[in-house]
Amino acid sequence: MQAHNYAPSRMNLLLLDNAENDSRAVVTGERHQHIRKVLKLQQGDTLRVGIINGPVGIATVAEQSDTSTTLQLSINSPASPPLPLTLILALPRPQMIKRILQTIATMGVHELHLIQTGKVEKSFWQSPAVTDQAIREQLTLGLEQGVATHLPTVHKHMRFRPFAEDVLPSITPTNKKLIAHLGDYPSCPSLQPKEACTMVIGPEGGFTEREVENFVNNGYQPVQLGARVLKVETAVPVIISKLYY
Q: Which residues, other chains included, contact 131 with Cβ-Cβ below 8 Å and sequence gap of 6+?
A: none
Q: pLDDT tens for residues 121-131? A: 999 999 999 99
- Count other C-beta atoms under 10 Å from residue 70's C-beta: 17
Nearest alpha-carbon partner for 80 in 48, 112, 119: 48
Q: Residue range 2-29: average pLDDT?
A: 70
Q: Residue range 170-199: average pLDDT?
A: 92
Any idea which of 62-71, 138-147, 172-181, 232-241 has the lowest mean pLDDT?
172-181
| Inter-residue contact 155 to 112 (CB < 8 Å) | yes
| Inter-residue contact 240 to 109 (CB < 8 Å) | yes
| Inter-residue contact 89 to 113 (CB < 8 Å) | yes
Q: pLDDT tens for residues 211-238? A: 999 999 999 999 999 888 889 999 999 9
- Count other C-beta atoms under 10 Å from residue 18's C-beta: 15
Please state the separation of Cα 230 from the chain's center in Å.
Answer: 20
Q: pLDDT tens for residues 102-111? A: 999 999 999 9
Q: What is the pLDDT of residue 113?
A: 98
How confident is residue 18, by pLDDT bands cut at 50, 70 and 90? low
The better pLDDT of the pair 107, 174 is held by 107
Burial of 28 (0-12, 13-18, 19+ CB in 10 A): middle
Burial of 7 (0-12, 13-18, 19+ CB in 10 A): exposed
Q: Which domains does the chain have, with CATH numbers?
A: 14-77 (2.40.240.20), 85-244 (3.40.1280.10)
How confident is residue 31, by pLDDT bands cut at 50, 70 and 90? confident
Q: What is the pLDDT of residue 174?
A: 73
Rounded to an integer, what distance in angstroms lies between the CA atom of residue 201 and that of residue 173?
Answer: 18
User: Which DSSP string corresponds to 139-186?
Assistant: HHHHHHHHT-----EEEEES-HHHIIIIIGGGSPP-SEEEEE-SSS-P
User: pLDDT above 90 covers what percent of the chain?
Assistant: 82
| Inter-residue contact 149 to 16 (CB < 8 Å) | no
Residue 7 has pLDDT above 80, yes or no: no
Residue 6 has pLDDT above 50, yes or no: no
Give the mean pLDDT of the chain.
91
Q: What is the pLDDT of residue 199?
A: 97
Q: Residue range 51-80: average pLDDT?
A: 94
Q: What is the pLDDT of residue 3?
A: 52
How confident is residue 173, by pLDDT bands cut at 50, 70 and 90? confident
Q: Residue range 170-188: average pLDDT?
A: 89
Residue 74 has pLDDT above 90, yes or no: yes
Q: What is the pLDDT of residue 10?
A: 56
The better pLDDT of the pair 104, 37 is held by 104
